[in-house]
Structure 1
């Protein structure tokens, strides 16, 4: 898998979200790297990493991350995931990964009704952005356009930088595994209470969730704690689906506190 490495100290592995890349962490990496060695990866089929050879499933994506950890001799590295990456991070925890896990708004901990709503709203929005790729630069280069495009994902889309937003938006078009990963989340098996009970628990599981998240609605946090009763929840105010976008300083603080 393609990755970037910054800083020195105890390593922390960053896993991005659906349709994104390691660039989603750009607002937090400089501050996090002042304290830790930061390793940010592109998941298979996103960014600069080629797609998986077989079916795209949460289990297969987790296998790829586990193989990366083993190949790099990272051992019980602390893992931070966002959205899809948070789901993968929690799957690692369920398998017995021993490092601290920080999961920012993990996807897939929903009811059947919530999954259908997600697919009909967020899923279709992502597909529409793929189809309207030629308009993204025009819409993304002004605050009104950014607000229109990212209202579902950010509580403060107008405040995000133009270059940062355009990089994120291009991911929706250029990620070959976007649709397959979306289907894996919506149609694949959902985590159930008790599935992680026999695994060796990580040192700590911390959930980070935006109060204004319209993608993984805040009520889904309770479903995560049903599966991982040891998890604690940290809420971000004035924050949508991506705390690393809307509250980067608070996100760095959470990561350092939760994995220190």
Structure 2
């Protein structure tokens, strides 16, 4: 579950003396760093397109579309280098994740897509997102550092209207929009994502 994964990170930070370390996460990782901040763990927090802020209908659509996409990627595992080497192939496979999949570098996306196909816990992680509780919030003044939430204007996985729910639940957070950007700012706007992280953490 998201809670037990976050428990593991919180325990690791404590054991390593990293109680006030800055944390950065994307998608499910973005949700986890927000959960760490909610618990008072870590320092500054940057969450990029975090999960956990869906409506019930949005959550159903998320699960109903992403599960077949992951199954397709796994079925095409051996052909991924060829498919992702083509602008047409990237567009067909990555349209849900990127605002401009045809423009992405094959070397950028292939390791991520292979990881999605190969990771043994992908199904369990998806279950944790779709069947577990939604993200809880943190009252104003209770997070340990600055909280910054970045969101792609063209995100089709965690759709942009969810940003308002995230801000409502984390009133101390600063919301940053990535224009012409899908679910992965590190794909569609890598320089801007890097700049946001560096400017928002100590």
Q: CA deviation at 1:223?
A: 1.1
Is the Cα contact below 8 Å between 2:138 and 2:170 reproduced in 1?
Answer: yes
Cα distance per residue 1:151-191 (max 9 Å; x no partner): 11011212222222221111122111101010100110012
Aligned to 1:110: 54
Cα distance per residue 1:121-156 (max 9 Å; x no partner): 123212221222122222111111111111110112
Aligned to 2:111: 167
Is the Cα contact below 8 Å between 1:209 and 1:236 reproduced in 2?
Answer: yes
Q: SS in structure 2 opposite 1:152?
A: coil
User: How many residues align structurally?
Assistant: 202
Q: SS in structure 2 opposite 1:238?
A: coil
Q: 1:199 to 1:58 in 2, by over 3 A?
A: farther
Superposed, 1:49-60 pairs within 5 Å as 57-60=1-4
- Per residue, is there more helix in 1 or in 2? 2
Aligned to 2:45: 101
Aligned to 1:225: 167
Supply the distance in 2 between the matched residues of 1:215 and 1:147 (Cα, whole angstroms): 16
Relative contact order (C-alpha < 8 Å, sep 6+): which is higher?
2
Is 2:77 the counterpart of 1:133? yes
Please list every run of 5 or more consecutive structure 2 residues that lacks an aligned counterpart in the other structure: none
Supply the distance in 2 between the matched residues of 1:109 and 1:80 (Cα, whole angstroms): 18
Is the Cα contact below 8 Å between 2:139 and 2:171 reproduced in 1?
Answer: no
Note the aligned Cα RMSD (angstroms). 1.6
Supply the distance in 2 between the matched residues of 1:58 and 1:82 (Cα, whole angstroms): 14
Q: 1:230 to 1:169 in 2, by over 3 A?
A: same
Deviates more, 1:82-91 or 1:114-123: 114-123
Please list every run of 5 or more consecutive structure 1 residues that lacks an aligned counterpart in the other structure: 1-56
Supply the distance in 2 between the matched residues of 1:234 and 1:163 (Cα, whole angstroms): 27
Among 26, 32, 37, the alignment partner of 1:82 is: 26
Cα distance per residue 1:12-49 (max 9 Å; x no partner): xxxxxxxxxxxxxxxxxxxxxxxxxxxxxxxxxxxxxx
Is the Cα contact below 8 Å between 2:141 and 2:172 reproduced in 1?
Answer: no
Among 166, 180, 186, the alignment partner of 1:238 is: 180
Cα distance per residue 1:224-256 (max 9 Å; x no partner): 112111111100111100111111111111112
Structure 2 length-normalised TM: 0.94
